[in-house]
Structure 1
Amino acid sequence: MTGFRGATSVVGVGTTDYFRRGTSPMTSAQLVLQAILRACRDAGADPRAVDGFVSYGGDANEGLAIAAALGVREVRWSSEVWGGGGGGIAAAVNNAAAAVYSGQASCVAVYRGLSEADDGRRAFAKGHLGSLYTAHGVLAPPQICALRTQRLMEVDGVPRSALEAVALAGYQHAQRNPRAVAYGKPLDHRLYEGSRMISEPLRLFDCSRENDGAAAVLVVSSDRAGDYQGRPAAILAGVQGAAAGWTDSVENEDRYTSAGFHPALVARLWDDAGVGPGEVDVAQVYENFTGPAVAAMIDHGLCPPGPAAGDFLTVENLTVPSGSLPINTAGGNIAEGFVHGIGLVVEAVRQIRGGSANPVTGADVSLLIGGPMAPLVSSTVFGSAATV
């Protein structure tokens, strides 16, 4: 463990509504501003006192521009995580925590916004598919993840039921979350199995949505968490990066069915957090597609590899109130809504701070996993006061 453990906390969260892609009446900047203002209201914070801004995944809204619109007194930190798409969601939180921990900022907003009419089609995937992909007919993210998922099933022996369980768990949680896009639209085995194939073996319900919207969280020093209202969610540990044999290698990865979380990175996460995978009470797992989410849970030691993954990854085990590892408790990218995964950050914090539509009773350790099977990946462990 390091001095970083528990030194910073999230003290506010804010979200906008989810809009069907291209239908938001607001620009992405307006959505981001609304989310940050709501996070400030949640924390009882003065928006003008926010002095740091962090985003990821090619967000079009620069921190300085957002700061000017908010009327902040001083900008002391402004950064964006490079590469990895949704792999940057936890990395953005980690960067904000590092800025606060090092004294470079005192209150950092971590945010992501999308408005397709403003940002363009599939703004979250710009730059991901180079000429070596497109020359061979790989034109969209599901095709890349389908190749890896097929290998995960055929060679590693992970059963399709594990993928289905991830999708059904998200939909089940969404039925108790009125904000979710899939609220009132339950999913069962018949609908899942009967849905059209997008890129074999990924079916329609294995794929995340695309939405307009925004969300934000505020990161401060834990020593100052008492200045804000509500329960803080302590940041116990965070990791990000890629090992040799991974990154932008265009399908030449040594561990092709991994989600990209190499063993050293995962070991560092648990060592720094002072907890193990068996102590995780709830997890928000970035599911651009269900296959990568399954691989990410295997990488983190949350479930066994191979055929045994199907025994652990069941709907009953992945859902509240009685599952041993509830995941994506607001519905996730698949069922709540997709704004490049920022909703998963908010839900990971709400499980500690309060406000989840599907709270896990007595949750002390909340795990956030970002961007599986992306060039850059990241994770963050949040904890309650009892863990610090």
Structure 2
Amino acid sequence: MSLREKAAVIGIGETAYTRGSGKSAFALQVESALIAIRDAGLTPRDIDGIIPCGISAAPAEDLVNNFGLPDLAFSGLTPMGGASPIAAVQCAAAVVSAGICKNVLITAGRNGFSGARAGVRIHDMPQFHYVTEYELALGAVAPAQLYAPMARRHMELYGTTSEQFGEIAVTIREHAMLNDNALMKKPMTLADHQASRMISDPFRLFDCSIESDGGAAIIVSSAERARDRRQPPVLIMGVAEGHPDSPGSITQRDTLTELGIAKAAPRAFGMAGVTPADIDVAEIYDCFTYIVLCQLEDLGFCKKGEGGQFVQGGRLKLGGDLPLNTHGGLLSQAHMLGMNHVTELVRQMRGQGGRAQVENAEIGLATGYGDMGDGALVIMRRG
């Protein structure tokens, strides 16, 4: 059974993204959920499926109690780090297509700035045990340290440069400057990127995503039900998840330059019946600039090793061949586990992208990247 256009996103919600919200992750999760419910023209009692995302997300029972849900038919978890929101979209699409639920809420709340930083939170992730034998023994524990060897390997194999990583950071910052709900709106040049301090070679400060507080949520319903909702429906054309080759320890793999998204991409594109050439806008998970470049290759926008050349020349900017992270992404808007990539894609497909709206955007995609290389991809179109 194909999930192609069996489900649609009917509501989106985001809180203000801040640094020091004074709110718990759960409060931010609830706030974004209520915004998404209102956006869809529903009430909390219309929700009969819940998929919370993130290690700080509250379980479904907490939302049932706070919203007074009368008849929850489904709850689930997709523990894939930053790939979780889009893996949750796949789960929700399957659930509504099977008739188990009418309206599935996917929600995340995060206080990554005012709460524990990534180097602390990673100890709570189930995947953390993968690094204890090799990386941790050498002092590598923070995400920048864990993923830096992948970027360095790509540079050694293909001649990729730090300046090419900088092209990604500068482009995404330009887009964030168009977004009122983005944290980083100070102009950045390539020279600024190159002058930023080294975090974990080859990652400089501006290669790394920011820490922030906030919440984001979406509601998935069947495509049939979506026609009667308040907002124009955004149809889910194709969706898939993929996991990297074993072992879980990144540095011990046969190849360091391919992610789980490489396995998800053929399935999602095949389900959608489109190719990378058909994509009008891409919201690519950007925990680090290299991860964007690697995903562009694994998705088929260019061949392996050609990502550095691909991102140059303004191709990723508004008006370019592949406008990327029109909201500012994790690098410059906020780190919202990639849920903000999904809400932005929906906004673009509705034609509600404001100053960053991609002209005549009909088909777009969003990706997720998780922890040791998990990947997820969703392709959507305007309904």
Range class of TM-score, shorter chain: over 0.9
Query: 1:336 aligned to 2:338?
Result: no
Rounded Cα–Cα distance in structure 2 between residues aligned with 1:265 and 1:114: 26
**Corresponding position of 1:277:** 276
Matches within 5 A, 1:112-191: 112-116=108-112, 120-122=116-118, 125=122, 126-127=124-125, 128-130=127-129, 131-132=132-133, 133-183=135-185, 185-191=186-192
**Corresponding position of 2:33:** 36
**Corresponding position of 2:261:** 261
After superposition, give the CA deviation of every residue in 1:34-89 in whole Å (9 maximum; x if it has no partner).
1011111111111211111113332431112112211222111111112x311222
Secondary structure of the corresponding residue to residue 19 of structure 1: coil
Rounded Cα–Cα distance in structure 1 between residues aligned with 2:100 and 2:188: 46
Secondary structure of the corresponding residue to residue 112 of structure 1: strand
Structure 2: state its 5+ residue gaps.
none
**Corresponding position of 1:204:** 205
Maintained 8 Å contact 2:2/2:271:
no
- Using the aligned pairs only, state the percent identity: 32
Rounded Cα–Cα distance in structure 2 between residues aligned with 1:57 and 1:35: 14
Matches within 5 A, 1:67-86: 67-82=64-79, 84-86=80-82
Q: 2:320 aligns with which of 317, 320, 323?
A: 323
Question: Cα offset for 1:142?
Answer: 0.3
Q: 1:118 to 1:247 in 2, by over 3 A?
A: farther
Runs of 4+ in 1 over 6 A off after TM superposition: none
After superposition, give the CA deviation of every residue in 1:270-296 in whole Å (9 maximum; x if it has no partner).
111100011111111111101111101
**Corresponding position of 2:21:** 24
Structure 1: state its 5+ residue gaps.
none
Maintained 8 Å contact 1:111/1:217:
yes
> What amino acid does structure 2 have at the position aligned with 1:54?
I
Maintained 8 Å contact 1:238/1:380:
yes
Query: 1:241 aligned to 2:224?
Result: no
Maintained 8 Å contact 1:64/1:75:
no
Question: Cα offset for 1:343?
Answer: 0.9
**Corresponding position of 1:301:** 300
**Corresponding position of 2:364:** 366
Maintained 8 Å contact 1:258/1:373:
no
**Corresponding position of 1:60:** 57
Q: 1:43 to 1:377 in 2, by over 3 A?
A: same
After superposition, give the CA deviation of every residue in 1:216-267 in whole Å (9 maximum; x if it has no partner).
0010001011221121110111111325x346245322331112323x5322
Rounded Cα–Cα distance in structure 2 between residues aligned with 1:324 and 1:272: 23
Rounded Cα–Cα distance in structure 2 between residues aligned with 1:354 and 1:196: 38
* CA RMSD, 1 decimal: 1.9
Rounded Cα–Cα distance in structure 2 between residues aligned with 1:124 and 1:99: 30
Question: Cα offset for 1:304?
Answer: 3.1
> What amino acid does structure 1 have at the position aligned with 2:194?
E
Rounded Cα–Cα distance in structure 2 between residues aligned with 1:342 and 1:249: 26
Maintained 8 Å contact 1:278/1:302:
yes
Secondary structure of the corresponding residue to residue 227 of structure 1: coil
Q: 2:97 aligns with which of 89, 98, 101?
A: 101
**Mean alpha-carbon deviation: is it higher for 216-225 or for 67-76?**
67-76
Rounded Cα–Cα distance in structure 2 between residues aligned with 1:349 and 1:110: 14
Maintained 8 Å contact 2:149/2:251:
no
Maintained 8 Å contact 1:352/1:383:
yes
Q: 1:119 to 1:331 in 2, by over 3 A?
A: same
Q: 1:59 to 1:153 in 2, by over 3 A?
A: same
Q: 1:350 aligns with which of 326, 347, 355?
A: 347
Q: 1:181 to 1:53 in 2, by over 3 A?
A: same
Query: 1:225 aligned to 2:221?
Result: no
Maintained 8 Å contact 1:4/1:101:
yes
Query: How high is the TM-score relative to the length of structure 2?
Result: 0.93
Question: Cα offset for 1:9?
Answer: 0.2
> What amino acid does structure 2 have at the position aligned with 1:73?
P
Maintained 8 Å contact 2:29/2:215:
yes
Secondary structure of the corresponding residue to residue 10 of structure 2: strand
**Corresponding position of 2:8:** 9
Q: 1:323 to 1:309 in 2, by over 3 A?
A: same
Maintained 8 Å contact 1:43/1:228:
yes
Rounded Cα–Cα distance in structure 2 between residues aligned with 1:144 and 1:296: 17
Rounded Cα–Cα distance in structure 1 between residues aligned with 2:6 and 2:106: 17
Maintained 8 Å contact 2:21/2:213:
yes
Secondary structure of the corresponding residue to residue 371 of structure 1: strand
Question: Cα offset for 1:121?
Answer: 3.5
Q: How many residues align?
A: 376
Rounded Cα–Cα distance in structure 2 between residues aligned with 1:87 and 1:291: 16
Question: Cα offset for 1:118?
Answer: 8.2
